[in-house]
Each structure stands twice: as C-alpha cells, then as structure tokens.
C-alpha cells in the first residue's frame, strides 16, 4: 500500500491509498474555496440519559442528492472539479466538508472506496477490499493519537432508504471526543459478565453462537458471521474475528488476508436476500439494491479495560420484505425496545440460501 497526503483548496487533508507503489498523486485542487469552517460542534450532555449529543447547525447546507454528473466524490475530470483533484483513484480519504464533529469536538472523514460512481462495495475485488481495510486500519490508528479523541468509528451507509445523500460508494469515519452510548453499554455488560462468570462476554457470545449453529451464516478459521440471538433488525449479521482483539490495528495477518473474501460474500448475500438474483439480473429487472449500515465496533482509545472489548462488525438492513421498510416506531424510538418481525433463525437460513455458487 502507498499512502499520499495532500491538502484541498480550503486546507482540509486528503489522503490517497494506492495498491501500486509507483502511483503518483500530485494533482492540485484548483477550486476557489474559502478556508474550511472551523466552528466547533457543540457537544451537550443529556441530564437524564447521560448521552452526549452533537449540535452541528453548520451541516444544514451540505450537499443533498446531486445528479451523477455533479457528484463531489467522483474524480476531477473534463474540467469538472470535485473533492478529489486526481483524474482517478483507488481509495481516497478526506476531511468531511460538512462534518458532524469539528475542532475540539472531534473529526469526521469521508472514505471513497472506488472512483466508479455506479459501483458498490460488493462490486469491488478482494484486492480493493483489502486496501479499504488498510485505510480503515491506518485511520483508526492515526485518529486515536489526536488530542481529545476517545473513540474511532468506521462505517458505511448505503441506500436512500437508510439516509444516504450521496450515491457514490463511500463510508465515513467519526473520531468522537467521548465514548458513544452504545459502546458504554457494551463495556458495562462486559464488566458485569466478567464479574459474574470470570469470562469475556464477546468470547462467550461467539462460542454460544458457534455451538448452537442455527444462526451461523459463515464460519471459517479466522472469521465467523452470525445473526445474533436477539437481533434488532430484520436482517442483521455480526462478523467476529475468531481471535478477539480490541480494534482494527490489532488484527493479525491471517485475519487481514481472509477478511476481503468473507466481507464481500456477506455484502453480496445481502443484495440477494429479497430476490435471489445476481447482479446482472438485478440490473436487468431494475431491482433496488438492499440498503444497509455496516459498522465497525472498536474499543475506546483510553479505556482502562479496552483489551476486554471485542472488535466486530455489525451489518444490517432496514428492509424487512421486498418493497417494505422497518421504521422505528413508538417502542423503538420512544423506549429503545426493538420489535423484530423476522426470527433470527429464519434470517440466517435465508442468508445461507443465497450463498454464492
């Protein structure tokens, strides 16, 4: 992997990640941009729940569903200047122009997986998927050294139904100045489990799913994917490395080498859940791709017991049947009690049915 750092016209950092060591990235951003807005996001604490909430009013003007020929994540070509000055790229990471977290309140980055506007992560080859993993890992390690950063979160949202406003295949990285509420709950559960049993809750969860077997989707020597026993979403898969580690930089070489094939297979199965057709037939029949969120859960940067945390990826969709979405209604939004219409065992069976040939 070759990493090249440069700056955009407004001073934001841009990083190219290339598979070729001889790649040259010297294009200059020629856009007449004002200096980046460095207003600090207002982080407020909910007095009842103890949750941190980011107030980021400057994001109201962010780009919203531009036509393909005005996509800001495509390369700069034919006189059209974008966020990425190069005429092509493998993987590019840059500071978000409209960040949710700014200044002393953290940092937000955009990760572009490919320069092909019409592709998706599932369309990538294993070499490119491995390069994305390298970029996630590098940024996780680097952002963890920034003053005030407490947690690094790499994720992808795909599909309008999930809330995506840019169609180009991309994800994001948030460097939070606090430990997120969801991670706080995991840590508390892990501590209670350790006190009660003397064991690690992530290890026990993975062992229980493998022993049961009914919800296993993929199982190999280095990764296991399963639908969790108490899945919140209609189709939800958790991907665990077989050797527990707290974060992406801690994965061993074997886990890194085998991740691309496993992850791409999971994404391709998600695209076949509701119709069973492959990509070519999908395009012919104009079937919309499955919307999803893919989220890496890593240990907080400075937590005393971060080694107790288990890195894992959570992949889920808000589509419950063809043409129907699961909306967060009163119980979910009001009380955070999820009601799932699809039994986890049935979801796992379906995900095994749509395996690649």
- The average confidence (pLDDT) of the chain is 94
Place of tokens 């070729």: 20
171 and 193 fall within a common domain? no
Indicate whether 38 and 144 sit together in one domain: yes
Question: Same domain, yes or no, for 236 and 284?
Answer: yes
The reply to whether 238 sits in an annotated binding site is no
The residues annotated as belonging to the active site are 170
Same domain, 17 and 147: yes
State which of 176, 192, 223 marks the end of a domain: 176
Q: In this predicted model, what pLDDT tens digit does every residue of 136-187 receive, in sequence order?
A: 999 999 999 999 999 999 999 999 999 999 999 999 999 999 999 999 999 9
Residue 114 maps to which CATH number?
3.30.428.10
**Cα(193)–Cα(187) distance, integer angstroms:** 10
Residue 113 has pLDDT above 70, yes or no: yes
Do 164 and 296 lie in one domain? The reply is no
- Do residues 254 and 137 both lie within one domain? no
Verify that 139 and 253 share a domain, yes or no. no
**Same domain membership, residue 335 and residue 322:** yes
pLDDT at 215: 98
Measured distance CA(109)–CA(89) in Å, rounded:
17
Give residue-wise pLDDT tens across range 5-48.
999 999 999 999 999 999 999 999 999 999 987 777 899 999 99
The predicted-structure confidence for 239-284, as pLDDT tens digits, reads as follows 999 999 999 999 999 999 999 999 999 999 999 999 744 444 444 4
pLDDT-derived band at 58, boundaries 50, 70, 90: confident
Based on the fold, state whether residues 185 and 172 are members of the same structural domain. no
Which pTM value belongs to this model? 0.95
Q: In the prediction, which pLDDT does 60 show? A: 75
Q: Which residues pair with 75 in a beta bridge?
A: 84
> 86 and 197 share a domain?
no
**Residue 269 neighbours by CB under 8 Å, 6+ apart:** 217, 351, 354, 355, 356
For residues 25 and 162, membership in a common domain is answered with yes
Residues 171 and 190 in one domain: no
The answer to whether 232 is a known ligand-binding residue is no
Q: What is the pLDDT of residue 81?
A: 97
From 146, 176, 206, the end of a domain falls on 176
| In contact, 302 and 176? CB cutoff 8 Å | no
Mean pLDDT of 320-344: 94
User: How far apart, in whole angstroms, are the C-alpha atoms of residue 11 and residue 7?
Assistant: 6
3-state secondary structure the chain: CEEEEEECCCCCEEEEEECCCCCCCCCCCCCCCCCCCCCCCEEEECCCCCCEEEECHHHHHCCCCCCHHHCCCCECECCECCCECCCCCCEEEEECCCCCCCHHHCEEEEEECCCCCCCCHHHCCHHHHHHHHHHHHHHHHHHCCCCCCCEEEEEEEECHHHCCCCCCCEEEEEEECCCCHHHHHHHHHHHHHHHHHCCCHHHHHHHHHHHHCCCEEEECCCEEEECCCCCCCCEEEEEEECCCCCCHHHCCHHHHHHHHHHHHHHHHHHCCCCCCCCHHHHHHHCCCCCCEEEEEECCCCCCCCHHHCCCEEEEEECEEECCEECCCCHHHHHHCCCCCCCCHHHHHHHHHHCCCC
Cα gap 211→69, rounded to integer Å? 51
Q: Which of 126, 146, 176 is at the close of a domain?
A: 176
222 annotated ligand-binding residue: no
Distance CA(148)–CA(41), nearest Å, equals 14
Among residues 214, 170, 158, 190, the alpha carbon closest in space to that of 312 is found at 190
Q: What is the pLDDT of residue 300?
A: 98
- Please check whether residue 234 is in contact with residue 275, taking contact to mean a CB–CB distance below 8 angstroms: no
The total number of structural domains that make up the chain: 2
Which residues span the domain enclosing 333?
181-353
Torsional class of 121: left (φ above 0), alpha (ψ -120 to 50), beta (otherwise) = alpha
Is 108 known as a binding-site position?
Answer: no
């Amino acid at each position: 992997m070759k990493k090249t750092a440069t700056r955009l016209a407004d001073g934001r950092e841009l990083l190219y990640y290339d598979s070729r060591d001889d790649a040259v990235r010297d294009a200059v951003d020629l856009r007449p941009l004002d200096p980046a807005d460095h207003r600090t996001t207002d982080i407020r604490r909910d007095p009842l729940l103890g949750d941190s909430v980011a107030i980021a009013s400057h994001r109201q003007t962010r780009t919203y569903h531009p036509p393909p020929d005005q996509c800001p994540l495509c390369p700069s070509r034919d006189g059209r200047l974008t966020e990425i000055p190069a005429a092509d790229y493998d993987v590019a990471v840059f500071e978000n122009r409209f960040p949710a977290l700014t200044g002393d309140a953290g940092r937000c980055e955009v990760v572009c997986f490919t320069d092909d506007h019409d592709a998706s992560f599932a369309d990538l080859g294993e070499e490119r998927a491995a390069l994305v993993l390298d970029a996630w890992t590098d940024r996780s390690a680097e952002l963890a050294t920034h003053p005030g950063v407490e947690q690094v979160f790499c994720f992808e949202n795909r599909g309008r139904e999930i809330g995506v406003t840019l169609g180009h295949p991309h994800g994001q990285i948030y460097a939070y100045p606090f430990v997120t509420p969801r991670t706080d709950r995991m840590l508390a559960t892990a501590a209670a489990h350790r006190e009660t049993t003397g064991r690690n809750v992530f290890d026990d969860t993975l062992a229980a799913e493998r022993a049961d077997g009914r919800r296993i989707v993929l199982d190999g020597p280095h990764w296991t994917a399963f639908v969790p026993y108490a899945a919140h979403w209609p189709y939800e898969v958790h991907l665990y490395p077989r050797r527990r580690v707290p974060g992406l930089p801690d994965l061993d070489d074997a886990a890194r080498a085998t991740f691309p094939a496993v992850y791409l297979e999971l994404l391709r199965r998600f695209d076949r859940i509701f119709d069973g057709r492959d990509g070519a037939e999908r395009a012919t029949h104009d079937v919309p791709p499955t919307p999803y969120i893919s989220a890496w859960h890593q240990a907080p940067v400075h937590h005393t017991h971060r080694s107790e945390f288990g890195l894992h990826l959570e992949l889920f969709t808000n589509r419950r049947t063809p043409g129907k979405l699961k909306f967060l209604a009163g119980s979910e939004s009001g009380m955070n009690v999820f009601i799932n219409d699809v039994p986890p065992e049935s979801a796992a069976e379906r995900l095994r049915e749509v395996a690649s040939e």
